[in-house]
Amino acid sequence: MIYKGIYHLFYQYNPEGPVWGNITWGHSTSTDLVNWTIHPPALFPSESAYDSNGCWSGSTTILQNGTPAILYTGGDSQNTQFQNLAGPKDPSDPYLVEWVKSPYNPIMKPNAMSTTLFRDPTTAWLGPDGSWRVIIGNEREHHGTALLYKSKDFNHWIEADQPLHSSNETGMWECPDFFPVSNDGEEGLDASVDFPGVKHVLKVGVAHSSVDYYTIGTYDHHNDIFIPDVGSVDNESGLRLDYGKYYASKSFFDSDKKRRIFIAWINESTSREIDIMKGWSGLQSFPRKIWLDKAGKQLAQWPVEEIEKLRTNKVSLPVTTLKKGSVLEVSGVTGAQADVEISFSIPLLEKAEVLESRWSNPQEICSQRGSSANSTGVGPFGLLVLASSDIQEFTAVFFRIFRKNDKLIVLMCSDLKRSSLGLEYDKTNYGAFLDVDPVTEKLSLRTLKIAQKFHIDHSIVENFGGGGKVCITTRVYPTSAISNDAHIFVFNNGSQHVEISRLNAWSLKRAQIN
C-alpha cells in the first residue's frame, strides 16, 4: 500500500529460518519502490484463539478516515483458519512500525466444512450501500470459491448468501485479488470505484499447482456476483499474469501516481536442503504496473518506471540483420545484472512452420522444441542471458512463429535446460502464445535479470513480451555465468533471417536495502 507518500510492502516471513514456519508479516518501506528499508515484523503469531500457528496472507485497506487496516488469516493449533484485523498503533507515523491486533478478533470464522480452506482476504471495497465487502479464498465441493463477506463498520462481518464467484474446474483458490480496470488508458482505479463501463478482474491462485490465473468480466454490484466475459477461460489453462514462477501475487492501487501495481512471490527451484544451506529462500518480483490492454481481453504489465533509476552504461545496436544460425554478443553491459529491450521484425513469414493440432499446449511445445533446435521455419530467435563466454551455459528467451489455418501464431518461450552446469534443480521450460500480429507489429522483448553469488549462485529473470502481454519469470542458478563472466547474446536458430530493429541495454546498479 501507499500511506503518507510511503510505500509499504508486507510479506510472509520466517525470522527463524529459510523454510516455512513461524510465519510473521515482514515489513519494508520505500519512497520509490526500488530502495527499501526493512523494519521489524508488523505481525507475530501470539494469540492461541486465532493465530498461534502463523499470521498468514492478507491485504491492507485504506479506511474512509484515511487510516490503514490489515486483514489477515491466522491459524490456531488445530490448523483452523480465521480472518483477523489489525491497525496501526500510531497512525501519525508514516512508517507504521507498530501494529495492534483488534479486540474483535477473529472477525470471520470458517464453517465446519472448510476449517482449513479459508484464507487470504483481499483488499476490501465499499459497495453502493455503504457497506464494506471482501472476498476470502475457499474450496467448496471441489469448486474454487471466492467467499464474500460484508461489514458496516469493518469490525463485524457477515457472510453473503452466495459467493462472489466460483469455478468447478479448479480446487482451492488462494490469494484472490479483485479490482476494477479502466476501459480507456493505463490509469489504475481504486477498489471501490463504481461507474458504468468499468471492467473487473478476478485473480486467483490454484493451490495444487501454484498457478495464478485471472478472468476479466463484469461485477454486478447489486447482486454481488462476478460474471466473466464470454470467452474468458475460468481455469488454470486461461490467462495468467505470468507463465513462469510467479505466485501468490497481490496488487494495490497507488493513489499518488494513479496506477495499479502487482508484486508476487518468486519461490526457489532448489531443494529444501539447499535452501537451508543458503540460509534464505524466496524473492519478491519487480513491481509491475498493470492495466487492461486496448483490445479489452487481457491485461498488460510493465516494470514500474522507477526501476529505470538503476540503469547505467547504456548500449545500443543499429538496425542489424540476424542471419540464420548466427549469434551476436551484446557487449558493454554487466551481464549478471541488466535491463535489455529488443524488437525484432521478420522479413519473410511465408515459411513459418505449420502448427500441428497436437501442439495445443505452448509449454509443451517450448519443452519439445527448445531454443537450440535448428528449425525449418521462423525461429527460435531471441536472447541468451546469464550465458558463459563459450555459450555452454545460458538461459534462453525466444520467439517462434507458426502458421495455423492461414493465421500466424507467435510462441514465446523460456528455455532453462542449459541454465546451470553441474547443478541439478527444477529446470522446467515455460511458454505461452503471444497475441501479436508479426505482419503489422514488431516482436518486442524486455528482460530484467539479477544474478549474485551467495553460497550457490542464484538469479531471477523476468521477461515481458509484446509490450507486456506475456510475462515469463524464471529462477536459474548459473555456475559459470556469474559476476563478470555473465554475458548476453542475441541468437537466431531458425532457417529465416530476422532483423533486430531496436536494441537498448543497460547495466543495473544495486538497489539500496538496509
Which residues in 200-216 are b (16+ Cβ under 10 Å) and which e?
bbbbbbbbeeebbbbbb
| Start-end of CATH 2.115.10.20 domains in the chain | 2-305
Tell me the C-alpha distance between 71 and 61, whole Å: 8
User: In the predicted model, is pLDDT for residue 1 greater than 90?
Assistant: yes
User: In the predicted model, is pLDDT for residue 33 greater than 90?
Assistant: yes
The CA-based diameter of the chain, rounded to the nearest angstrom, is 69
Contact yes or no for 333/488 (Cβ under 8 A) = yes
The pTM score is 0.96
Tell me the C-alpha distance between 245 and 473, whole Å: 5
| Start-end of CATH 2.60.120.560 domains in the chain | 312-508
Which DSSP string do the residues of 45-96 spell out, in sequence order? Answer: ---TTTTTT-EEEEEEEE-TTS-EEEEEEEE-TT--EEEEEEEES-TT-TT-
* Residue bearing the bigger pLDDT, 359 or 462: 462
- Which band of pLDDT confidence, cut at 50, 70 and 90, is reported for residue 452? very low
Tell me the C-alpha distance between 493 and 371, whole Å: 7
User: In the predicted model, is pLDDT for residue 453 greater than 50?
Assistant: no
Strands 2-3 and 6-13: antiparallel
Give per-residue pLDDT as tens, 49-100.
999 999 999 999 999 999 999 999 999 999 999 999 999 999 999 999 999 9
Extended beta strands in 255-373, E state: 259-266, 283-284, 288-292, 299-303, 311-317, 320-322, 326-329, 337-345, 353-354
How high is the mean pLDDT of the chain? 94
Q: What is the pLDDT of residue 406?
A: 85
Give per-residue pLDDT as tens, 159-192.
999 999 999 999 999 999 999 999 989 999 999 9
Contacts of 299 (CB under 8 A, 6+ apart): 181, 201, 214, 216, 239, 241, 290, 291, 292, 293
Q: What is the pLDDT of residue 411?
A: 96
To which residue does cell 529462477 refer?
A: 475
Tell me the C-alpha distance between 118 and 495, whole Å: 53
User: In the predicted model, is pLDDT for residue 456 greater than 80?
Assistant: no
Strands 353-354 and 395-404: parallel
* Residue bearing the bigger pLDDT, 37 or 352: 37
3-state secondary structure of 443: strand
Q: What is the pLDDT of residue 165?
A: 98
CATH 1.10.3720.10 assigned to 312-508:
no
DSSP 8-state code for residue 23? -
Q: What is the pLDDT of residue 357?
A: 81
Give per-residue pLDDT as tens, 101-148.
999 999 999 988 889 999 999 999 999 999 999 999 999 999 999 999
How large is the average pLDDT for residues 13-42? 96
- Which band of pLDDT confidence, cut at 50, 70 and 90, is reported for residue 374? low
Contact yes or no for 377/495 (Cβ under 8 A) = yes
CATH level 2 (architecture), domain 2-305: 5 Propeller (2.115)
Tell me the C-alpha distance between 435 and 353, whole Å: 18
